[in-house]
With several copies, the nearest count.
Chain A
Amino acid sequence: MKYEVTIEGTLRHVTVERRRDGAYRVVVDDVEHIVDLSRPTPDAFQMLIDNASWEAGAVFTPAGWLVDVMGLTTEVEVVDPRRKPIQLSAGTSGGTLSTQMPGRVVRVLVAAGDPVTKGQPLLVIEAMKMENEMKAPIAGTVADIFVAEGQTVESGAKLVRIE
């Protein structure tokens, strides 16, 4: 299986094959690794990569894999080039601002129809005694506001759409 893996803006070409002995052959940009994979718990990928012991957590989300290694979580996009058109049609968030963090909307700073610049604070979400400004991902006009002041939002909730 060939994948295009994007991590922190860098694209890597990765080939994964399962060998007869059950181990995986993983080629990352021409560098070959033999990986023995075990899953001691459902959320842990315990890998012996050329004997080196590494462990990662990997959770599937619509936006890609959330992979944590040694405690640091990174979003990793894995695309099968053959399925690429389908993947792309799923679209990205574009002008829609979502929250990655659950919390309570304490202030909405814009109204529908307002023009906004990229990076302009649109609303403030409070979580764990801290206020966090949520900023416009693009410049444009506020088309929809999906939340109201005082409302509690879950992680991933859409907040504002900008056209």
Chain B
Amino acid sequence: MPHPPFHKVLVANRGEIAVRVIRACHELGVRTVAVFSEADREALHVRSAGEAVCIGPAPSSESYLCGEVIIAAALRTGAQAIHPGYGFLSENAAFAQSVIDAGLVWIGPPPSAIESMGSKTGARQRMIAAGVPVVPGTSHAIATAEEALVLAVEFGFPVMIKAAAGGGGKGMRRVDHPDDFASAWRSAQSEARKSFKDDAVYLEKFVDDPKHIEIQVLADAHGHTVHLFERDCSVQRRNQKVVEETPCAVLPNDTRLAMAAVAVQAAEAVGYVGAGTIEFLYSQASGEFYFLEMNTRLQVEHPITEMVTGIDLARAQLRIAAGEPLWFAQKDIVQRGHAIECRVYAEDPSQQFAPAPGRISGLREPGGPWVRVDSGVYAGYEVPIHYDPMIAKLVCWGSDREEAISRTIRALREYRVRGIRTSIPFFAALLRDPDFADGRYSTGFLSPERLTRLTDASRNDEIATIAAALAQFERDTRPSRPESATPRESAWKRSGRPGGA
């Protein structure tokens, strides 16, 4: 066994990602400390870790976001390093700096790199300076419609007018033709003023029907940066990724390599160290791609890259943070086969994906060949209302895309979660959708109509009818037996072979 990179690591997160990091630590011979809120005493990451420390009440703001308390816990338990997972404090440069200032190792990029990529406009300017393609547009407000129109013609229509202070689609207008520009400009300004008390608007080229493609990078502290190819994360609902796959089914290989080269360039431009992801918009129509943002941490969807490259990204983070130079070169990284991830949410697909926390009364996760479940729950666990609804990730590998899809469908069919509702039934219909099968789907794939159609496609009313009638019959005819009793005898035992029935 090689020397562990650390003696002990504190994992400043919860749920499946905390369990993921704890697993990587244990495999490397590193001891672990979990932190938990009062609502999480029974959480799986507490059960999985070597030690566990309570850091405060249920709300994240009073526990998982309390950097000082977490650093104190690390110092008290003798941890040498802190791994932030994703979300919570993972992209908080000030927290990263505090960890370092406390004499601990931060398992993530340098705070300066987090900072550089943290501001969207700052990152955009830095990327332009580094020669990385960004969506053509103005990073700041434009004074007049006339001035803006000149730029719009330069970018090429369609263009988007966006509120500088904006978000949530307010003060946003798509313009397809120069003739419509002036009126769209006025109405965008007016809506921006009403929504944000600020009528500043700016311009961006509209990327029609784009794919969301991202490149995984790994960089060590000795100046080596490599990429681990792409992930296609275009299946999104409410701007949240739902299904990811690698490789992208339709990306031309020269574009793939060009994006990867740009991603390495972007990471090097900010002195990146560790695991990171460069997100791009990719236009299938034009074949062009544009830098969107960089995630300076491990991604939710990192497992699909692991499955096709054979490289354990969480372990790599630990070894890099301990100062180890990369132990492989770019040419050693080869994509083999195809991998798909489905994010399992505690949400009810039949109720517009409303959150569905509650107790998991029964759980059987799928298994067998090339099926990986990164789970944050167990049978009997109560999914709390306080945190993100993602309870697990199903990751399947296949020697090709068809094999990966059919294996994922098989695994979804095995997956049993009782007691709460989840997005599981929805995925099997999604993976069978012909528009998913041909791989050309864009970020607009999951329209409300498609969501409804896919959910309806997973119904089995005939079977549900028979089950409900039998359940009622058992209830009516055996009133004295408590609900939880298990009748163990089967008709077969009494009747013998069915051939004779």
Interface size, chain A (Cβ < 8 Å): 69
Report which B residues bind A (CB closer than 8 A).
33-34, 41-42, 46-53, 77, 346, 348-351, 354-358, 361-362, 378-381, 385-389, 412-413, 415-419, 421-422, 424-425, 428, 455, 458-477, 483-495, 498, 501
Residues from chain B with a CB closer than 8 A to the CB of A58 are 467-468, 470-471
Residue interface bits A74-106, CB-to-B below 8 A is 1, else 0: 101010100000000000000000001111100
Residue interface bits A12-43, CB-to-B below 8 A is 1, else 0: 10101011011110101000011111111111
B355 and A74 within 8 A (CB): no
Secondary structure of the A side of the interface? strand
B470 and A40 within 8 A (CB): no
Report which A residues bind B (CB closer than 8 A).
1, 3, 5, 7-8, 10, 12, 14, 16, 18-19, 21-24, 26, 28, 33-49, 51-60, 64-65, 67-74, 76, 78, 80, 100-104, 127-130, 132, 152, 155
B469 and A5 within 8 A (CB): yes
Partner of B490, one of A7, A38, A51, A76: A38
Distance, CA A17 to CA B351, complexed state (A): 34
Residues from chain A with a CB closer than 8 A to the CB of B465 are 5, 7, 12, 14, 28, 76
Given contacts A40-B381, A41-B486, A51-B77, contact A1 B412 (CB under 8 A): no
Residues from chain B with a CB closer than 8 A to the CB of A45 are 467, 470-471
A-B contact count (CB 8 A): 225
Partner of A71, one of B48, B458, B490: B458
Distance, CA A40 to CA B47, complexed state (A): 9
Given contacts A1-B473, A3-B472, A40-B47, contact A71 B463 (CB under 8 A): no
Distance, CA A127 to CA B355, complexed state (A): 6
B460 and A53 within 8 A (CB): no
Distance, CA A22 to CA B38, complexed state (A): 14
Partner of A70, one of B50, B361, B413: B413
Residues from chain B with a CB closer than 8 A to the CB of A70 are 413, 425, 428, 458, 460
Could you list 20 A-B pairs, sorted by A, with CB under 8 Å? A5-B468, A16-B473, A23-B495, A28-B462, A36-B41, A43-B419, A47-B463, A48-B52, A49-B466, A51-B53, A53-B34, A56-B467, A72-B459, A74-B459, A74-B464, A78-B468, A80-B476, A101-B354, A102-B357, A127-B357
